[in-house]
Structure 1
Amino acid sequence: MPANRSVYADYLFLLIGSGLMAFAIQTIYSPADLVTGGFTGVAIIVKSISGKWMDSGIPLWLTNTILNIPLFIAAIRIKGVRFLGRTGFATLALSVWLYLIPDKPMMTDDLVLASLFGGAISGAGMGLVLLARGTTGGTDMLAVLVQHYMKHYTIAQVMQVIDAAVVLAGAFLFGISNALYAVIAIIVVSRITDGIIEGLKFSKVAYIITDRYEEVAAAIMKETNRGATGLIAKGMYSGKYRNMLFCVVSKKEIVLLKEIVINTDPDAFVIVTDAREVHGEGFIEHRKQGV
């Protein structure tokens, strides 16, 4: 996370992210009967069932709020007030967005588009929320509380069981076909969320084997303003020890790095690979955690 991003920016991310999630839920998931897990999935089920005896059914925002209230009370008692912070804000924002966004169906006739675009929009929202170190409560918080008493299970495992139960309930109510499309939406959400989180932190690692390592290192440090580390490596075929340079750069800088190496030593052997996250000066710099 960038060191220069303020707490206010984080809360803006939470607000925008929860709004995108609410938009997907209110205009795509709910009208198409796609239950993708979580308390919002439960809310879709409750709205459908209650719609049989009341006009339009119980609103999504109301069910989401009611289900989260006891969780927040339990979380305050078990984890303390500071545990809520951003999660409390994001959860409240999600309910408010669900209340404000009009219930206007989109793509109800095409479940493929509904699952793909609903997953993309919801995944983008979830990515922003997670970037700001928050969650929208629901099964995330429930999993944390359950794991507090069942420590032999991980939070991820508890969440998978809870969400799977919600999806199965949706399959029972809306049919297996809708449930399978909901699974597609879940996969899309996961991929988009990961892409947003990891994409902003994505870097490149270069391993450079060259006899002119001092010249190459000097050129890299001068042209890219990045450091380079010399590692002693042994060629198993020749039995000779050589210096190998190790350098981490941004995606935009990798082209320049390769040009520098080739221009300095055309015979250099270069291996380029991905780095999911790089923490330290010039990349992800740490800052004190806000509320």
Structure 2
Amino acid sequence: MLVKEILPNIALQAYIKSYLIVRFDTAIPKEFATKPYPTRIEQSLNFFARGYINNQNPATGESVRVASTAIFGQQVCRLNFETIFQPDFLMLMVNFKAGAMHRLLRIPNQELTTKFCDAEPLFSSEMRMVNDLIANAKDEVEIVGIADEFFLKKVRALKNDANQIDKIGELLLTNPTHFSLNWLADQACLSPRQFERRFAERMGVSPKFYSRINRFYQTFLYKETNPGTDWLTVALNFGYTDYYHLAKDFKQFANTTPKIMLEQYARRPEVVFKFFEPPRSASAYRTAVIDS
């Protein structure tokens, strides 16, 4: 069993934040098989090489099987992922940097927001072959090599289209405190109206909503790693006016109260069974001993 986050080839790091490899070869008790997934800034391409997941919407109760290669657009509400572990499970998640999915796919990202789309029609027919290669890879080093080769070919075919809006997206990721729309638009040399439209095209949501989601998730992660800090202090430290202001965001983005969300998040399989490894660079990873 393993969950590893690995950095891509250095030539891909302007596009890809990290690879996440999840592998189970032993059944996990059903009560731990569902992972609560609070809203966060994330757009990804997912290869379910062995096994699959069901996407459950806790607000509607709807459950849908996700395609074997799937694009996850920007999330705007909480989801629950039920992993099907039998007979075994292997997933590679490719987490993109701000704006990178738009650069690769060349479609307005609003069309992907809150959706889990079959990746094959959006990327290419190669997706099935890549998924098969990952399924038959002998270890994590080979999986990373397969992903690097696929994306290096995609990136080399692109024009150099680095965009100031993507840099602003990264800024809001690292510092989700309040910036005025006029200031952000000035950084992109656009009018506020043009900036909002182009930002949504590349990120899937408006700059204000993007910043709200990221502030919520950073607040949540801080409290998870600093359980001794009271909620009011946490809320004020992250720019909320009071605890009730924070609780309102939890209702929207986690579909429950802060206390209950933390309790549910602590029951993720990688936490309960303690098999998460911290991120490491691809080069360091390739020279490391592979754990089974």
Range class of TM-score, shorter chain: under 0.3
Structure with more strand by fraction: 2
Structure with more helix by fraction: 1
- Bigger Rg, which one: 1
| TM-score normalized by the length of structure 2 | 0.27
| TM-score normalized by the length of structure 1 | 0.27
